[in-house]
Copies of this chain bind each other. A is one copy, B any other.
């Protein structure tokens, strides 16, 4: 699959797919002509990357979070996984979940109060 196809399937601009490769979180093959060649799992992976970026993670953190989950990386990479970094990121993720849950509850409460006093139901 060429970069344009992957862009179409994921909704992520080719420019960004090249960027993700540059920062080391996407690892396409190359076909003879020099074109990047992506496997089917790249679709899932790109979506994963987008989710994490939109959740405020940097590409550096993502590089630690997506260690051996590389599409075409077989067992060799297993050696290079930084377990401590991964544990750190796990802590990060958990802290963020706490923050978001607190804020979710706060917003919900706030909305409920408002919807009661103004007599507006939540379905628009």
Q: How many of chain A's residues touch chain B, expressed as a range?
A: 20 to 34
The distance from the CB of A5 to the nearest CB of chain B, in whole angstroms, is 25
CA distance A17 to B55 in the complex (A): 23
**Is A87 close to B, CB under 8 A?**
yes
Interface-facing stretch out of A7-15, A23-31, A33-41, A103-111: A103-111
Residue of B nearest to A67 (CB): B110
Number of copies: 2
Contact yes or no, B90 A51, CB < 8 A: no
Produce 1/0 per residue, A39-65, CB < 8 A to B: 000000000000110111100000001
Q: A51-B99, A56-B56, A90-B111 are in contact. List 6 more A-B contacts (CB 8 A).
A: A51-B103, A55-B99, A55-B100, A83-B115, A94-B104, A97-B97
Cβ contacts A to B, 13 pairs, < 8 Å: A51-B103, A54-B96, A54-B99, A55-B56, A65-B107, A67-B110, A83-B111, A83-B114, A84-B124, A87-B122, A93-B100, A97-B100, A97-B104
